[in-house]
């Protein structure tokens, strides 16, 4: 099967399986080649050599887009953007002139995977980092990509780039991030693609138990770990920002809306209004992907008009909790003109 963010094409990702009782199981077998400062895997960090491919719709790719912005790597790691609608073969560049990525010259991301491994059998996923000279995908290991952008690319980061993975907080960041991945990031998919009532009920319970714990955790602290934005926040935000628009109804995660969870809703707005987060979000592309591509869940392909997204810019009041978003660093500048997204409305 082929697709986009760790499931098959219906859910926007790579391979997956289901247990006998219908539990959704994500295939986490990715291309783990790394781009490092010392080039240990044969791919040294080099400005302009690689192209980060994302899709605005995909939550896993959203992480890479955020960290690239926060690190100020726009000029040294150019970005290609696949469109929100794809078929069973892979993401395509249907938003670009002539339907091709202007640098790689390909219509589908699948072509870059096949150049790496002919007939590549696993998910054609985003984010993916492509070696421009060869046209081959180097890595699609989304969890490692963001950590490496924050560490291996340090010689090319902007002045004032924040430390998203500070040494003294790493154990706690890892623990929180794994809980968030298991119960929230992947949990919404386990709800949406459950193949049986018991599997759905189990995933739904775990999702809401975790969201309740996060609501309690964030009631008295501005960020998930420490007093600055860390990798843990980068990993939670993409799911929260898609929650009311997609997961609440489309994936049947409907105990409450995000807007009905005071701490999480304020926390999500705080991040959305922080440079590097909300300026990576295109709600129209997010909805187009989920509601059009997932025809087994939404057979008509009708994309809902709502919800209103203008409230993402409303005051959140989280400054009263203290904390410094970028620690000793500074906010990133505005995104390049070619990468700007529509304002919420």
Residues annotated as catalytic (active site), given as ranges: 58, 189
Tokens of 229: 């934005």
240: Cβ contacts below 8 Å, ≥ 6 apart? 258, 264, 267, 268
Q: What is the rounded distance in angstroms from the CA atom of residue 53 to the CA atom of residue 82?
A: 7
Q: In whole angstroms, what is the distance from residue 127 CA to residue 111 CA? A: 15
Give the per-residue SS3 of 233-281. HHHHHHHHHHHHHHHCCCCCCCCCCHHHCHHHHHHHHHHHCCCCCHHHC
Q: How many other C-beta atoms are found inside a 10 Å radius of the C-beta of residue 40?
A: 11
Nearest to 292 by CA among 10, 81, 54, 14: 10
d(CA 263, CA 147): 27
Consecutive H or E run containing 306? none
Any bridge partners for residue 51, and if so which?
A: 130
Torsions phi, psi of 118, nearest 5? -50, 130
Cβ neighbour number for residue 339 with a 10 Å cutoff: 17
Q: Which residues contact 254 (CB under 8 A, 6 or more apart)?
A: 248
Place of tokens 């706690």: 172
């Amino acid at each position: 099967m082929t697709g986009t963010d760790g499931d098959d094409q219906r859910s926007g990702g790579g391979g997956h399986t289901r247990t006998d009782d219908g539990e959704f199981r994500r295939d986490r077998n990715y291309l783990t080649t790394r781009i490092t400062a010392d080039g240990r895997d044969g791919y040294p960090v080099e400005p302009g050599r690689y192209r980060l491919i994302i899709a605005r719709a995909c939550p896993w790719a959203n992480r890479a887009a955020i960290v690239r912005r926060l690190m100020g790597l726009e000029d040294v790691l150019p970005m290609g953007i696949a469109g929100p609608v794809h078929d069973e073969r892979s993401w395509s560049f249907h938003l670009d002139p002539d339907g091709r990525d202007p640098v790689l010259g390909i219509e589908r991301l699948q072509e870059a995977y096949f150049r790496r491994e002919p007939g590549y059998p696993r998910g054609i996923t985003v984010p993916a980092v492509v070696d421009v000279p060869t046209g081959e995908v180097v890595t699609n290991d989304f969890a490692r990509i963001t950590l490496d952008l924050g560490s291996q690319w340090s010689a090319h980061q902007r002045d004032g780039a924040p430390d998203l993975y500070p040494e003294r907080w790493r154990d706690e960041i890892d623990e929180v991030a794994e809980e968030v991945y298991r119960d929230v990031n992947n949990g919404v998919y386990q709800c949406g693609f459950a193949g049986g009532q018991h599997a759905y009920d189990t995933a739904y319970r775990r999702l809401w138990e975790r969201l309740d714990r996060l609501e309690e955790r964030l009631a008295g602290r501005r960020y998930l770990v420490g007093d600055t934005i860390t990798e843990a926040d980068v990993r939670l935000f993409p799911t929260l920002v898609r929650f009311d628009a997609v997961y609440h109804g489309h994936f049947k995660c409907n105990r409450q809306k995000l807007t009905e969870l005071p701490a999480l809703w304020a926390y999500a707005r705080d991040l959305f209004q922080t440079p590097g987060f909300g300026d990576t979000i295109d709600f129209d592309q997010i909805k187009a992907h989920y509601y059009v591509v997932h025809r087994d869940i939404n057979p008509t392909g009708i994309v809902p008009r709502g919800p209103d997204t203008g409230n993402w810019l409303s005051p959140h009041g989280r400054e009263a909790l203290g904390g410094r978003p970028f620690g000793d660093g500074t906010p990133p500048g505005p995104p390049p003109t070619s990468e700007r997204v529509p304002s919420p409305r």
